[in-house]
Amino acid sequence: MLIAFQDRLRLPWRGGAKRISPAALAPALIIPLMICLAALNSKTAIVLMLTLIGFTCWGLQVAEGTATKTSFFRSWIVFSVFYMVIIFESAVPLLELLPEENYLLLSLSIGALYMLYRVQKLASLDLVTTQYGNTPRDELPGITEASSGEEQAEQQAHEAVTLMADTVLGIEDDEDENEDANLMQHSQPNICEICRKVTPRRAYHCVICGSCVKRRSHHSFWLNCCIGERNYRCYLLALVLSECALLLGANLTLTAVCHPFLVVRLLGIPLLLPDDCSEVFEDFELGISFVVAAYALLISGYITFVLLRQLYLWWRGTTLHEYKRISTPNGNRNRVWSNWRAILK
C-alpha cells in the first residue's frame, strides 16, 4: 500500500505528471503545525524550537552518515520561506511599517532565492562527466601502471645521479629536489579511485552525487547539490542576502508586535529594537508573528555560522573538503597564500 501510495502521489505538469517524494511533501505539513502550536504560549514555543534544533542536527547526521540524497531539507527551505512571507504580509500589522522597509525586505528575499536557484543550476556544471584528454576510460588502469613503472625508473635514475653528485661535490640542494618532486607530481594524471576518471586538480568524488566535483567544497543537503568551482561565489552571495533578509524581517516583525524603543537615527531613518514582548501570546496573530520572527532568528544564527566558516576557509585558500582531509600545518603561511591565490583564479 505504501509503494502504491508513493507511485500515485504525482503532480500534474507539462509533458506528464511528475512523482512527488513524501520527504519533499512532509515539510508542507510539519512547518504550519509547528508554528501554530508554538503560538499557543511561550513554554510550547521554547520546547518546539529546541526540538527543531535537535531534529535538524539528527537529520543532517543521518543523511551524511548514510550518504543519502534527499529533497527533504530543500523542501523545508522552500516551505519555510513561503509560510514566512505569507505570515509577514498578512499577520504582521503593515500599518506600522514603512513601504520602503517592506520593499527592501522583498528585494532581499527575491535576490536570495534567485542566488539559491543559480547555485543549483550551476552545480551540474561542476560535475566531471567527460574524460580530460583523449584517453579512453578502459585504458586508464594501463596508463596508471605504465606511468607508475616509468616514474619508478625515473626516480631510481634521479637518485643515482644525485648520489654521485653529492659524493663528488659534497653538496646538497633540497630546493632542487623539491622542484623535481613538484614537477613529477604535476605530470602524473589525477585519476579518481572510485569512478576511474581523469579529473582536474582539486576535484574530489562526492558519494552522494555519484560523480567527481571540480574544486569540491561540500555537499549541501539544504540545496541537495554540491558546492564547487562554478557555484561557490553564488553560494556565498546567497548566504549574505539570506542573512540580511532574515535579520531585517525579524526586526520589522518584532518591532511591530512588541513595544519598540529607538536606538539611533541613521540619515533620518529610525533604528528600532524590541523592548517588551510579554504580551504577544495574548493574541493568536501576534503570537504567530512572534514565533515566525524567532524562527527567522534561529535560521539566521545557523547561516551566520556557515557563512563565517566559509569566509574563514576562503581566507585560508582551501575548501571544507580539503580542510577536513588535511589540516594546514601551523606556521606554513606559504601553503596558505598559494592556495588563496589558486582559489581566486
* pLDDT attached to residue 301: 94
For residues 216-227, give the mean pLDDT. Answer: 91
- Does 107 score more than 50 pLDDT? yes
d(CA 211, CA 225): 11
What does DSSP assign to residue 21? Answer: -
Give the closest residue to 131 by CA, choosing from 241, 74, 212, 13: 212
The residue ranking higher by pLDDT, 302 or 188, is 302
For residues 21-50, give the mean pLDDT. Answer: 89
* pLDDT attached to residue 81: 92
* pLDDT attached to residue 331: 41
Kind and range of the H or E element at 206? strand 203-206
Q: What is the mean pLDDT of the chain?
A: 77
- Does 285 score more than 50 pLDDT? yes
CB 213 within 8 A of CB 203: yes
* pLDDT attached to residue 292: 93
% of the chain surpassing 70 pLDDT: 68
Cell, residue 315? 581566507
Residue 310: pLDDT band by 50, 70, 90 thresholds?
very high
* pLDDT attached to residue 161: 44
For residues 85-110, give the mean pLDDT. Answer: 82
Q: Left, alpha or beta for 224 (phi > 0: left; psi -120 to 50: alpha)?
A: left
For residues 124-144, give the mean pLDDT. Answer: 57
Task: Give this prediction's pTM.
Answer: 0.74
CB 128 within 8 A of CB 213: yes
* pLDDT attached to residue 184: 45
What is the tens place of the pLDDT at every residue in 159-168?
A: 554 544 454 4
What is the tens place of the pLDDT at every residue in 236-277?
A: 999 999 999 999 999 888 888 887 777 777 666 667 777 778
* pLDDT attached to residue 244: 94
Residue 188: pLDDT band by 50, 70, 90 thresholds?
low
